[in-house]
Chain A
């Protein structure tokens, strides 16, 4: 039986063919997702839509085609296909102001961009809009929904609670897909995830200690790399990327020449306006030396205690729990990369992103590190004004210049 390529699949296929200036890693990443999408279309009884921060190792070990919603909406935003989605979302919710990155997912099926999955699976980790949107979509489209409840605190009881739910989720998937979670395959998935984590860490360390080796947009575009962890694709992407960067470091051949300032980039970006980052990097000679989004959770997965091990990894994400964890992680990275400034892009409806800003600003003020918050809508490009943001970036670079001069004197 042949399956017609969905509109979204077509977009991903085209995107995965694009050449980027940072080697092949983004291409490999997009191609891996395209392959999953093909499987998603061919095996609708096993298809899952989930979110970025999930224990994807289980899905890979069970060989289930899983697409994460942030990739779908982010890609559609890159292709400037989101306005009809936003219109559907406004019609359903009768309210604006929630995170459009997530709420625009309400229009995906109504606009026939992708077929309805058999399962929606999400957790309350990091974003509270995703689970509620999934709950609604599963009800509306008669799909099954599984929720993993992630508490705010972090202690052994919380690890046990999350681990038990991961076991429940596995049972749920085994019953409804007929696929069994094979211990040997889970063990393989853990090994691959650990290996991918190794390369991810190496990339971070390499970038932190070097002249700028790559465009910041690549780091942000790879923010969903966690979703490939547990598969060979994650290793392929990160190994390729690491080797490219290492070679650049060794021969000094970096695409970012004459960089004057180093910035740490926090949270997201505008997928439909990537060239804004080129303006920062090329015209303003300011390199994004590390991104919060390219974060590798440094927890070794242990197949002797698989569910607790996954729960620990899940709960160790710096964005989990109190905002102080996240801020400490950012400030630590800012120190590590010796950033001259920090730019925080806050999607307008994202409470997580915006609520961290006052805390972050205070910490950076104490260190006298310039900070810029740009607020924008990652999905809705109708009110996007490039010139306004460029003016703010210009002013910010001036600030960094003044600071640097005062430090030199």
Chain B
């Protein structure tokens, strides 16, 4: 019998809980196609990612999902939940509240939300999610984090450099592959990278940091790489950010440990972090000897657009060129983006 699937959209959703409940977890990323029927349900000034997944859902492309967990990561996500709940036929649709602040009060609240999620899953599917299965699940996902960090350590070494295109492929597999198999895949990948010496001459290339909104496709990445630059780090929720820091498996309060890890991970633009995000980016620029920063935002994503202004000022203050690219989550704008990237790389 096939394992039922629960989808999720935001990397603040703990996959460990989905897995411990006996489900296969799958990140919903849409299909990057121009939207067709979403117009009746969602206006055009809403996040193109949300519009895309709703469009796919309305077309019946997520019929394989038994459940769907969204978050209040932004207003568009909240509307996505409302529309999904009303118009898309999925057995279990849930919105998980994620605090926007990182302190003890927020941590206690988030722990409460995770307990509630566990209860909802238990009641809806008539299952028991025991601490033992949660711990087993945490072990498995911690292993993914350790392996992913190993890959990123390898990437620092120019001889074993892994391109951003390849990283996109590696990380996209995590959204669909069963976790045990995915960990095996990562182990094999690391071994192959250690053996292979790359012909890529990274030191001669312009070193780019890619940051901003979610991006699970390669088209902007390939444009940058095809112009001869190397993306040496990506600070996005669709790259390494979800894999920083492991969960304390020895904790007596496993839900608390999960809550703590998820809330204290590297923040995204929606969080109110008193400069942590900018500091992190400044550290990456130093550590990875970055020559230029490409900041990709999805159109109408207010968190990333407004946060981008703060980050741009910080980065330019460091004397590093900065380029804002606004995307619409389709391949349609690629030629405009190509021109902008080309010019940007010329001026670095």
User: Chain A: residues with CB nearer than 8 A to chain B?
Assistant: 92-95, 97-99, 124, 127-129, 131-133, 135-136, 139-140, 145, 147, 149, 151-153, 157-158, 160-161, 164-165, 168, 322-324, 346, 348-349, 351-352, 354-355, 357-359
Give A251 to B102 CA distance when docked, in angstroms: 58
Q: Is the CB of A93 within 8 A of B305?
A: yes
Give A135 to B313 CA distance when docked, in angstroms: 14
Could you jot down 29 A-B contacts, CB within 8 Å?
Answer: A93-B306, A93-B309, A94-B309, A94-B324, A95-B326, A97-B299, A98-B302, A128-B75, A128-B302, A129-B306, A131-B100, A136-B307, A139-B275, A139-B310, A147-B100, A149-B99, A151-B109, A152-B72, A152-B97, A153-B95, A161-B99, A168-B105, A322-B78, A349-B45, A351-B76, A351-B300, A354-B45, A358-B41, A359-B82
Give A244 to B99 CA distance when docked, in angstroms: 45
Nearest-neighbour CB distance to chain B for A350, whole angstroms, equals: 8
- Which residues of chain A are within 8 angstroms of B43 by Cβ–Cβ distance? 346, 351, 354-355, 357-358
Q: List the 7 closest A-B pairs by CB distance, nearest first.
A: A132-B306, A151-B97, A152-B72, A354-B43, A161-B109, A149-B100, A147-B272
What does the 1/0 interface line of B51-82 toward A look like (CB < 8 Å)?
00000000000000000000010111011011
Nearest-neighbour CB distance to chain A for B74, whole angstroms, equals: 6
Count of chain A to chain B residue pairs whose CB atoms are closer than 8 Å in the complex: 116
- B101 contacts the other chain (CB 8 A): yes
Q: Is the CB of A323 within 8 A of B109?
A: no
Closest to A155 in B: B116
- Which residues of chain A are within 8 angstroms of B41 by Cβ–Cβ distance? 358
Q: Is the CB of B74 within 8 A of A128?
A: yes
Q: Is the CB of B305 within 8 A of A358?
A: no
Nearest-neighbour CB distance to chain B for A152, whole angstroms, equals: 4
Q: Which of A97, A136, A323, A348 lies in contact with B309, CB distance below 8 A?
A: A136
Given known pairs A139-B310, A149-B100, the reply for A348 and B45 (CB within 8 Å) is: yes
Closest to B85 in A: A322
Q: Which of B113, B305, B313 lies in contact with A95, CB distance below 8 A?
A: B305
Given known pairs A165-B105, A348-B45, A358-B42, the reply for A136 and B310 (CB within 8 Å) is: yes
B161-193 with Cβ < 8 A to chain A: none
Chain B contact surface mostly: helix
- B106 contacts the other chain (CB 8 A): yes
Other A-B pairs, 18, CB within 8 Å; known A95-B299, A128-B270, A132-B306: A92-B309, A93-B305, A97-B45, A128-B302, A129-B302, A129-B306, A131-B100, A131-B272, A132-B302, A133-B306, A135-B310, A149-B100, A151-B113, A158-B97, A160-B109, A161-B99, A348-B45, A354-B43
Nearest-neighbour CB distance to chain A for B70, whole angstroms, equals: 10
Give A149 to B263 CA distance when docked, in angstroms: 14
User: Chain B: residues with CB nearer than 8 A to chain A?
Assistant: 40-43, 45-46, 72, 74-76, 78-79, 81-82, 86, 95, 97, 99-101, 105-106, 109, 112-113, 116, 270, 272, 275, 297, 299-300, 302-303, 305-310, 312-313, 324, 326
Q: Is the CB of A324 within 8 A of B309?
A: no
Q: Is the CB of B109 within 8 A of A157?
A: yes
Give A131 to B271 CA distance when docked, in angstroms: 10
- Which residues of chain A are within 8 angstroms of B116 by Cβ–Cβ distance? 157
Give A151 to B45 CA distance when docked, in angstroms: 23
Closest to A354 in B: B43
Give A152 to B45 CA distance when docked, in angstroms: 21
Closest to A357 in B: B43
- Which residues of chain A are within 8 angstroms of B309 by Cβ–Cβ distance? 92-94, 136
Nearest-neighbour CB distance to chain A for B50, whole angstroms, equals: 10
Give A115 to B224 CA distance when docked, in angstroms: 44
Closest to A373 in B: B43
- Which residues of chain B are within 8 angstroms of A322 by Cβ–Cβ distance? 78, 81-82
Give A206 to B329 CA distance when docked, in angstroms: 49
Q: Which of A97, A165, A352 lies in contact with B300, CB distance below 8 A?
A: A97
Residue among A132, A145, A322, A324 facing the most chain B CB atoms (10 A cut-off) = A132
Nearest-neighbour CB distance to chain A for B304, whole angstroms, equals: 9
- Which residues of chain B are within 8 angstroms of A324 by Cβ–Cβ distance? 82
Nearest-neighbour CB distance to chain A for B323, whole angstroms, equals: 10
Give A357 to B32 CA distance when docked, in angstroms: 25
Given known pairs A355-B43, A355-B46, the reply for A98 and B305 (CB within 8 Å) is: yes
Give A241 to B299 CA distance when docked, in angstroms: 43
Give A322 to B75 CA distance when docked, in angstroms: 10
Nearest-neighbour CB distance to chain A for B17, whole angstroms, equals: 17
Give A357 to B46 CA distance when docked, in angstroms: 13
Q: Is the CB of B45 within 8 A of A149?
A: no
Q: Which of B95, B105, B303 lies in contact with A152, CB distance below 8 A?
A: B95
Q: Is the CB of B82 within 8 A of A149?
A: no
Q: Is the CB of B306 within 8 A of A164?
A: no
Given known pairs A95-B326, A149-B99, A157-B112, the reply for A164 and B45 (CB within 8 Å) is: no
Q: Which of B75, B100, B303, B313 lies in contact with A352, CB distance below 8 A?
A: B75
- Which residues of chain B are within 8 angstroms of A145 by Cβ–Cβ distance? 272
- Which residues of chain B are within 8 angstroms of A149 by Cβ–Cβ distance? 99-101, 106, 272
- Which residues of chain B are within 8 angstroms of A349 by Cβ–Cβ distance? 45
Give A157 to B81 CA distance when docked, in angstroms: 21
Residue among A133, A139, A349 facing the most chain B CB atoms (10 A cut-off) = A139
Q: Which of B79, B275, B324 lies in contact with A323, CB distance below 8 A?
A: B79
Q: Is the CB of B97 within 8 A of A351?
A: no
Q: Is the CB of B307 within 8 A of A351?
A: no
Nearest-neighbour CB distance to chain A for B313, whole angstroms, equals: 8
Q: Which of B40, B72, B75, B112 lies in contact with A358, CB distance below 8 A?
A: B40
Give A149 to B105 CA distance when docked, in angstroms: 11
- Which residues of chain A are within 8 angstroms of B270 by Cβ–Cβ distance? 128
Residue among B43, B72, B105, B306 facing the most chain A CB atoms (10 A cut-off) = B306
- Which residues of chain B are within 8 angstroms of A157 by Cβ–Cβ distance? 109, 112-113, 116
Q: Is the CB of A152 within 8 A of B101?
A: no
Nearest-neighbour CB distance to chain B for A52, whole angstroms, equals: 16
Nearest-neighbour CB distance to chain A for B119, whole angstroms, equals: 12
- Which residues of chain B are within 8 angstroms of A92 by Cβ–Cβ distance? 309
Give A323 to B85 CA distance when docked, in angstroms: 11
Q: Is the CB of B95 within 8 A of A351?
A: no
Q: Is the CB of B105 within 8 A of A132?
A: no
